[in-house]
Amino acid sequence: MGTSNRVALVTGASRGLGAVIAGVLAERGHDLVINARDPDTLNEAADALSRRGAQVLAVAGDITDGEARNRLIDAARQLGGLDVLVNNASELGPIGPLMDFDVRRLGRIFPVNAGAPLALIQRAVPLLAERRGLIVNISSDAARAAYAGWGPYGASKAALELLTRTLAAELRDHGVSAIIVDPGDMRTRMQQEAFPAQDISDRPLPEVTMPFWHWLFDQPAADVTGERFEAQAQDARWLQHA
């Protein structure tokens, strides 16, 4: 299934922000490799993206599984290469004070939020280098602010941000760019799970970030590498220097 089209890989793409990003990429003519753990919702997302004219390969699996990551890279190669890698899949973990936190849970949160993205990047870089591609790592304002109850999640996203900035420096000479995107507070299932008793209907849907994604994918990747962006910033002031 070779193609000369641009190809993007998006993890956590079956719903929420990942589905929005994949939709923008499909509108912009990218073929897609999409991933999520639940095969049913992932296949529904793939069908919707296919109706936009994209070739879509859905690869279900846990991103911490090395074999699942291998299948993702194989799928990108099947589509002809890789131009954009979006590491969106995340694990929130329990919300609560650090003094009550079961430290063993770090063995899940850090692998999902920091370890697996790095491992997938390691596998993807040879393909990205062929097309001077872009790595987009999805972070959170919790990576920069000490929100009570959000310590483990925020720490894992802070680790991802440092890894991203380091990768931007290390991969520049290989023609591969890497950026951080904080999408902002949104009405998603993960956000509702964080606040199960609260009404979050006043928060914007992930579609609020669409103008940012269209702007970002218009930029030469090398011009934005190493930067941190806030996708809901006012008046299109998206760049927040890392």
What positions carry a catalytic annotation? 153
Report how far residue 35's alpha carbon sits from residue 24's, in angstroms, rounded to the nearest whole number: 16
What residues pair up with 7 in beta bridges, in sequence order? Answer: 31
Three-class SS state of 31:
strand
User: Tokens standing for 60?
Assistant: 């279900």
Query: How many other CB atoms are there within 10 angstroms of residue 54's CB atom?
Result: 24
Three-class SS state of 180:
strand
Q: Establish how many alpha carbons lie within 13 A of residue 165's alpha carbon, considering only the half-sphere containing its beta carbon.
A: 11
Report how far residue 240's alpha carbon sits from residue 242's, in angstroms, rounded to the nearest whole number: 6
Report how far residue 36's alpha carbon sits from residue 41's, in angstroms, rounded to the nearest whole number: 8
